[in-house]
Amino acid sequence: MNYTLHQLQVFLKIVETKSITKAANELYLTQPAVSIQLKNFQDQFDIALTEVLGKQLYVTDFGKEIAGMAERIIQEVEAINYKTQTYKGILSGRLKLAIVSTGKYIMPYFLTGFIKHNPAVDLTMDVTNKAMVISSLENNEIDFALVSLLPDKLQVEQEILLENHLYLVGNKEEKFSSKPYKRSIFDSLPMIYREAGSGTRSVMENFLEKSKITVKKKMELTSNEAVKQAVIAGLGYSIMPLIGIHGELVNDSLQIIPVEGLPARSTWRLIWLKNKKLSPTAWAFLEYIRKNKIEILHDNFGWVEEFNKE
């Protein structure tokens, strides 16, 4: 057999995506190029790695076995590269993060300086819903997770990053007073919710329940961006994190409606499994955050505190 590392990488991506087209897109290759690599790899085995039924590609049991071994081979090759960099005095390795969708407004600012000073570090960051983030953490698939609410059943360590403030938000079609409204204002507002399980949804529902407020639920959407666009379009109102609507407040496409008891609060925090043995790369990142957090907050999130003083 004479398969190449590139063939292993292509095959793993096909197994992951279960599609030649999707694999080609993610690898920035043409579809014919991926098909050729798969054929060349398959030609070295007497047993089928994949099969196509209808228009769907399936990975055979044998193919799954080969994929598992291919993944271990690639990990060993990466380890060789990282070890070589380490002997040169260069921090290297893979930093794996999973963050909830609203966290995309925060996490890049804590990563930029670290990656810039450590270009040999490979970053993997999955931006997804809270359930998937917690699942990745529980299965020890990542180094750190970024969440606004701590998981109920996991023992974790944490590093506090930033306080999260949530306000009632609407578009600019209707004029509202700058004086805080009674909580009864919710009686007349159609509300847009995040999906069940999201941190934003939990904070919103906690505020409504504690305030004994019953609202008219207009719709439920699966991302902060979707909720934001729905509010801008005039489909309803929502309680949203300030961190995710700064641009829309500045360009005057959204407004905050002051209400007694708001903003609701939670805390953005970086968490990792208790007793987890962090890699040198993960430890270096954690130390970087601890050393530079105040400066990062001042340079990139000073507007949050200024806004909350208004």
Residue recorded with tokens 């109920």: 152
What is the Cα–Cα distance from 175 to 173, expressed in whole angstroms? 7
Using the predicted structure, report yes or no on whether residue 62 has a pLDDT greater than 70: yes
CA 190 to chain centre: 28
Residue 87's pLDDT band (cuts 50, 70, 90): low
Confidence (pLDDT) at 41: 92
Confidence (pLDDT) at 43: 92
Q: How many CB atoms lie within 10 A of CB 140?
A: 10
pLDDT tens for residues 251-285?
999 999 999 999 999 999 999 999 998 888 899 99
Residue 308's pLDDT band (cuts 50, 70, 90): low
Residue 90's pLDDT band (cuts 50, 70, 90): low
Using the predicted structure, report yes or no on whether residue 85 has a pLDDT greater than 80: no
Confidence (pLDDT) at 310: 54
- Average pLDDT for 210-225: 84
pTM of the model: 0.72
Confidence (pLDDT) at 32: 92
Cis omega (within 30 of 0) for bond into 263: yes
Q: What are phi and psi of 255, to 5 degrees?
A: -135, 150
User: Would you call 211 helix, strand, or coil by DSSP?
Assistant: coil
Using the predicted structure, report yes or no on whether residue 225 has a pLDDT greater than 80: yes
Confidence (pLDDT) at 76: 80
Which of 99, 161, 149 lies closest to 124, judged by CA? 99
Confidence (pLDDT) at 217: 75
Confidence (pLDDT) at 233: 94
What is the Cα–Cα distance from 296 to 233, expressed in whole angstroms? 33
CA geometry: angle 153, 107, 302, nearest 5 deg: 115
Residue 104's pLDDT band (cuts 50, 70, 90): very high
pLDDT tens for residues 122-135?
899 999 888 899 99
Domains annotated on the chain, with CATH: 5-86 (1.10.10.10), 91-162+267-309 (3.40.190.10), 164-266 (3.40.190.10)
Which of 283, 288, 289, 277 lies closest to 93, judged by CA? 283
Q: What percent of the chain has pLDDT above 70?
A: 96
| Contact present, 149 and 200 (Cβ < 8 Å) | no
pLDDT tens for residues 147-192?
998 988 899 999 999 999 999 999 998 888 889 999 989 888 899 9
- Average pLDDT for 81-90: 66
Residue 82's pLDDT band (cuts 50, 70, 90): low
Residue 223's pLDDT band (cuts 50, 70, 90): confident
Residue with the larger pLDDT of the pair 75 and 99: 99
What is the Cα–Cα distance from 208 to 86, expressed in whole angstroms? 52
